[in-house]
Amino acid sequence: MNLKCVVIDDEQHAIEVITDHITEMPGLTIFKTFTSPIQALTELSLNDDIDLLFMDIDMPGINGLELAKNIREKAKYLIFTTAHPDYALQAFDVQSDQYLLKPISFAKFALGIDRILKKESNNARAAKETDQAAAALYIKGDHKYAFSNIAIDEILYIKSLQNYIQIITKAESHTTYLTLKEIDKALERHPFIRVNKSNIVAKAAIKKVDGNIIRLVNNEVIQIGEGYKEAFFTYVQNSLLKSNRNQ
């Protein structure tokens, strides 16, 4: 974990205190600091992918509460660092995640930020578990309690066999009682493409395209159906490496 931090405070000393704490805290890194809230307003963007935004409230030109209304969406977490306890309710209105009162000791800083780090760790763990679950699928076998676990990135293509489908992987094939429409729905978030009425192909398994013929990495060939050409060749064109040189 390496969370990007931005610090905005009109007092350089206050910035130095927060940046020292960030340096001492594992999992945090300093991205930018600003003594001018106006400069922060104009320079920060969504593309910066800011994780933690530390911001004073009482600043000249535009105060932290007003600034937060304009840049809150550019950071995942907002932490106010202020000497004024009476802004806490207003800080809640602009979706502040922490409200740290100056002077901010390292102990106070660490306790507040640790909650965010634990939340991030839990989110990352949950996302990993979701990815792992999405990376494989189970299909029914030949009796009630028989199931096969198939790694999705091992699948080359899937073909319809009337009321069944056959899933061909790099090492073997599996037949199960499903329709092509049902497996297509299960794989919609994965890199597969329907190429005719009877076949779904893994995009990574395509070795070559020659006219209406697809050659897969296992050297099997599949014909592109008439009703699927437009979508297939749109995908190819979008993935095509092109030169900017004049022809």
Residue pLDDT, tens place only, 4-52: 999 999 999 999 999 999 999 999 999 999 999 999 999 999 999 999 9
Query: Mean of the pLDDT values across residues 191-208?
Result: 96
3-state secondary structure of 26: coil
119 lies in the same domain as 166: no
Q: Name residue 166's beta-bridge partners.
A: 159, 175
> Domain boundary at 132, 155, 178, which?
132
- Residue 204 falls within a domain, yes or no? yes
Q: What is the CATH number of the domain that holds 33?
A: 3.40.50.2300
120 lies in the same domain as 186: no
181 lies in the same domain as 226: yes
Q: Which residues of 168-184 are buried (b: 16+ CB within 10 A; e: fewer)?
A: bbeeeebebebebeebb
Residue pLDDT, tens place only, 147-165: 888 888 899 999 999 889 9
Phi, psi of 6 (to 5 degrees): -125, 135
- Residue 235 falls within a domain, yes or no? yes
Q: Which residues of 229-246 are buried (b: 16+ CB within 10 A; e: fewer)?
A: eeebeeeeeeeeeeeeee
- Residue 70 falls within a domain, yes or no? yes
36 lies in the same domain as 112: yes
- Residue 244 falls within a domain, yes or no? no
Residues spanned by the domain of 165: 136-239
> Domain boundary at 76, 99, 132, which?
132
7 lies in the same domain as 128: yes
52 lies in the same domain as 156: no
3-state secondary structure of 165: strand
- Residue 82 falls within a domain, yes or no? yes
Looking at residue 225, its pLDDT comes to 95
Looking at residue 129, its pLDDT comes to 64
- Residue 229 falls within a domain, yes or no? yes
115 lies in the same domain as 161: no
Could you count the other beta carbons within 10 Å of the beta carbon of residue 153? 14
- Tally the domains of the chain: 2
- Residue 245 falls within a domain, yes or no? no
88 lies in the same domain as 204: no
Residue pLDDT, tens place only, 108-133: 999 999 999 998 888 877 766 655 55
Could you count the other beta carbons within 10 Å of the beta carbon of residue 53? 26
Q: Is the pTM of this model over 0.75?
A: no
Q: In the block, which residue shows the tokens 């502040």?
A: 96
143 lies in the same domain as 128: no
Could you count the other beta carbons within 10 Å of the beta carbon of residue 147? 11
- Residue 60 falls within a domain, yes or no? yes
Q: What is the CATH number of the domain that holds 143?
A: 2.40.50.1020
- Average pLDDT taken over every residue of the chain: 91
147 lies in the same domain as 181: yes
165 lies in the same domain as 212: yes
100 lies in the same domain as 161: no
> Domain boundary at 116, 132, 148, which?
132
